Amino acid sequence: LYTLYNISKVLSTTFEAEELLKEIVKKVSSDLNIEDVVVMLLDDKTQELYVASCTAGSPDACKYVSSRYKVGQGFYGWVAMSGEARLIRDVSMEKDIVPGDILDPEIQSIIAVPFGVRGKVIGLLCAYKNRPGVLERGDLALLMAVAEHVALALENARLYKETKAMAITDGLTGLYNH
């Protein structure tokens, strides 16, 4: 509960999406003792998931940054399409995970939790461990609770950005107000 409280406290400190994503992965990684945490967001135009933030810091520093996954294809695409969280205790024992789905060869355990607003998935919160059998159902439940907070925080950030743009521009022409 304390971890969830700390994470939700961090989520309410900023309305800037990039800063918010950076804080999410940092806090989840440190509080839950998880080596790698990745937030993937859904690109509405291409219907692909892309890495928006990871524990490496900026998305450019993240070794997973070039990874993109089509909705409905592969492990991450299936999680996004189904809207169901997945816990993989041992990657080597899973038959439905292909090597391209594993972001790093050292990864042995995975949790992928979809999050969204108004019934629409907008991204995934993923946690990775370098040992098999370490992630448990309790970790999955906690990440599902965190993912709900992440979805609300990202939606608030989006609405804040829209409101800010509407305050300084004309709604009809899109030009800046005098």
Per residue in 155-170, pLDDT (tens digit) is 888 888 888 888 888 8
Mean pLDDT on 134-159: 87
Per residue in 71-90, pLDDT (tens digit) is 888 888 999 999 999 998 88
Per residue in 93-105, pLDDT (tens digit) is 887 777 777 777 7
Burial class (CB in 10 A: 0-12, 13-18, 19+), 148: middle
Mean pLDDT on 42-53: 89
Provide the b/e sequence for 87-96 (b: ≥16 CB within 10 Å): bbbebeeeee
SS3 167: helix
Residue 19 has pLDDT above 60, yes or no: yes
* 53 vs 65: CA distance, rounded Å: 8
Confidence of residue 115 (pLDDT cuts 50, 70, 90): very high
Residues 6 or more apart from 99 whose CB is under 8 A from it?
none
Confidence of residue 113 (pLDDT cuts 50, 70, 90): very high
Alpha-carbon distance values, 161 to 5, 57, 93, 132, 168 (Å):
25, 23, 44, 41, 11
